[in-house]
Amino acid sequence: MSKQQFEISAGYKKWTNALLGVGALALVLGFIFLAMSKEELAQTRFWAVLLQNSVFFLLVVNASMFFICVTTLAMGGWQMAFRRVPEAISSLVPVFSILALLVFLGIIFTGQYNIYHWLDKEHVEHDPILKGKSAILNPTFFLVWTVISLFLWSWVGSKMRQLSSKADEKMNKEESKKYIWNNTVWAATFIVCFGLTVGSTIPWLWLMSIDAHWYSTMYSWYTFVSSFVAGMSLVALFVVYLKNHDYLEYVTEEHLHDIGKFMFAFSVFWTYLWYSQFMLIWYANIPEETIYFKPRMQGVYRGVFFLNLITNFAVPFLLLMRRGAKRNYTTITFLAVLIILGHWVDFYQMVMPGTVHEHYVFGWFEFGILALYAGLIMFFVGKGLTKKPLLAKYHPFTKESIIHHT
């Protein structure tokens, strides 16, 4: 009989505190040496790294709620055995929303023109392209739309989590039917909000507007799928951790296999979108479009550019292809870590060429902030997991998940 309720172990706490300590130190040092520096480049680096990390990890934890809502809408039952894990991860959305909002406020109010050059009113006046886009690319619209999106994710997500708590108590057949219907309605609401934000507008505002002259219709999907595949990997990591510590009694290798399939399939889907974006620009060869790939493919980012393809496509594609690999804790853990780091690098190469240009560094600050976010995820997910039993015992689909067989 395995344990029903998650308890934070001493080892878990130690790692959390260590990561948080390193991260906080990096943030403080970064603030002193980079943000307060007289050098423009150091300031830009500070805000660019914060932007990359806060956006990436916010979208990654939000992907958990997307996963829950999609499986709910598809009447999926297999995920019930571990559904409390993505739920706990998605409970980070409000926290990371506030952090991301602080970063945006910082960028806008300290006037970081190197990050978003559409913030520079004088420059926009003389720039017909930016002027044409100024109805959307202006601080008011940016902040209002950001706040609305963050609120919707947090609010509808918390509704879904509240509904999930009801499955801890017994319900009869009529109540079960109503319960499923309620879940469906809220999940559908979330998907609509998600499509209008993460699936389209939010990546335009937060990331694509760094290269404000340039645009790509693939960009939002590309950003979304990047965060989704990393989000599934994060779920996989926690599921493996909990299984190894004698929790999640009903999760078998069948469930892990299905999570692995998500990691595999969406790595391929990411590549498909990457290629769709790249190929048209490469083929048409129009200067205003190729400007995006010029520094990445032929400039100093060449290494990062190809590393991105190797870690996010070639390795997961070849290593996760076998059935046995998806059912093996070691390979899943290794690839989950690789995919998360790979997409972290992916976001890095989305942000940096437009902000710090050729002066990019993978230094103490970049990895310090990564550690900070890793620590925050461990801290809050651990806390979220302790709040509820790890199995929604009376959810109508729980049995389906227990007998799940691929």
Partner 1 sequence: MAQKKFVVGCFEDEKVLFPAVAKVRKEGYKFHDIYTPFPVHGLDHAMGLRETSIHTAGFLYGMIGTTTAVTFMTWVFTKDWPVNVGGKPNFALPAWIPITFELTVLFAAVGMVLTFCYICQLAPFVKKHVFHPRATDDFFVMVIECGEKTNEQELTDLLKSVGAQEVNTQVAEEGWWIGRYDQEQSLYNEPNIA
Site map 387..406 versus partner 1, x via CB under 8 A: ------------------x-
DSSP code at position 321? S
| 283 scored as a contact of partner 1 (CB under 8 A) | yes
| 322 scored as a contact of partner 1 (CB under 8 A) | yes
Q: Judged by CB, which is closer to partner 1: 174, or 283?
A: 283
Integer Cα distance of 86 and 190 in angstroms = 15
List b or e across 150-170, with b for residues whose CB sees 16 or more CB atoms inside 10 angstroms.
bebbbebbebbbebbeebeee
Integer Cα distance of 351 and 206 in angstroms = 10
Residue 283 C-beta: closest distance to partner 1, Å: 7
Residues 232, 233, 234, 235, CA torsion sign: positive
Q: Judged by CB, which is closer to partner 1: 74, or 279?
A: 279
Q: Judged by CB, which is closer to partner 1: 32, or 279?
A: 279
Q: Judged by CB, which is closer to partner 1: 15, or 275?
A: 275
The one segment of 76-84, 229-237, 316-324, 358-366 that binds partner 1 by CB under 8 A: 316-324
Site residues (CB under 8 A) for partner 1, limited to 251-280: 275, 278-279
Start-to-end C-alpha separation, the chain: 24
Q: Judged by CB, which is closer to partner 1: 129, or 297?
A: 297
Q: Count of CB atoms within 10 A of residue 132's CB? A: 11
| 323 scored as a contact of partner 1 (CB under 8 A) | yes
Name the packing angle between helices 329-355 and 253-284 (round to 10°).
30
- 67 closest CA partner among 217, 229, 181: 229
CA 303 → CA 3, 75, 232, distances in Å? 46, 43, 26
Q: Judged by CB, which is closer to partner 1: 285, or 330?
A: 285
**Member of 147, 310, 321, 361 binding partner 1 (CB under 8 A):** 321
| 287 scored as a contact of partner 1 (CB under 8 A) | no
Contacting residues toward partner 1, per CB under 8 A: 275, 278-279, 282-283, 285, 321-323, 405
